[in-house]
Amino acid sequence: MEEKHLQSSDFIKDVVIGMADGLTVPFALAAGLSGAIANTSIITTAGIAEIVAGSIAMGLGGYLAGQTEVEHYYAELKREHEEVERVPETEKEEVKEVFADYGLDEYSQNLIVEALSKDKEKWVDFMMKFELGLEKPDINRARNSALTIGISYIVGGIIPLSPYFFVTDSTVGLNYSAILTLITLFVFGYFKSKVTGQNAVKGALKVTLIGALAAGAAFYVAKLFS
């Protein structure tokens, strides 16, 4: 059950990562360009280029992160195996220290160490989890993570960009985009906070504020530089 909890929380985390950035960055970019450029056709081109670039960069970034996690786990696993073979006494001391911290006496510590060290596989497993805090990562995690983040970014990014396709004046586009995106950010923040067990209204306001801040800053900085 804990395993299940972890996996679905990974999925939700990926959706949140992709969607939060997908909603915010294209929204802010389009807002920034609206402050500097009157015609929406350049804004939609830039927005699409951003969504493509962002979804690939974030998706493949998620893939590499997942892969690195897997590689890191197996590198540490190999090291622990070697240490258990080479310096078993040191490793036994490390196990004892873990339990000494929790107030177990010398006698109990030795008992645990002797039981654990009978089975080297379990001993190494124990060191991985309790000394290093590493869980065996899911092999498919990297691929799933990449797809989830990438698709969430695209879905998120299309929302703030959509109004610009239907109007020619960028200020009009910005107004509709701002209304649409701020509502979406609020709803997204609300459900995100619900799912992660946070205060939903507070969470919704935070997410909306980030989007508004990013868009506002991009708007004024782009105006300054144009």
Residues 32-51 that bind a second copy (CB under 8 A): 32-33, 36-37, 41-42, 44-46, 48-50
By CB atoms closer than 10 A (0-12, 13-18, 19+), residue 107 is exposed
Contact region for a second copy (CB under 8 A) — 80-88, 103-111, 136-144, 169-177? 103-111
Contact region for a second copy (CB under 8 A) — 82-90, 132-140, 166-174, 175-183? 132-140
Structure token digits, residue 16: 């949140």
Closest CA to 187 of 173, 207, 161: 207
Show contacts with a second copy in window 41-100 (CB under 8 A): 41-42, 44-46, 48-50, 52-54, 56-58, 60-61, 64, 68, 71-72, 75, 99
Instruction: Kindly tell me the sign of the dihedral angle through the C-alpha atoms of 206, 208, 214, 216.
Output: negative
Among 82, 87, 122, 169, binds a second copy (CB under 8 A): 122
Contact region for a second copy (CB under 8 A) — 84-92, 137-145, 174-182, 208-216? 208-216
Contact region for a second copy (CB under 8 A) — 82-90, 136-144, 168-176, 211-219? 211-219
127 binds a second copy (CB under 8 A): no
Closest CA to 27 of 156, 117, 142, 120: 156
Show contacts with a second copy in window 159-198 (CB under 8 A): 196-198
CB-based contact 20:209 (threshold 8 Å): no
Show contacts with a second copy in window 3-32 (CB under 8 A): 17, 20-21, 24-25, 27-29, 31-32
Three-class SS state of 1? coil
Residue 147: Cβ within 10 Å count: 15
Shortest distance in whole angstroms from residue 210 CB to a second copy: 4
Of residues 129 and 183, the one with the C-beta less far from a second copy:
129
The stretches of the chain forming alpha helices (DSSP H) are: 2-34, 40-86, 88-100, 106-117, 120-126, 141-166, 170-195, 200-225
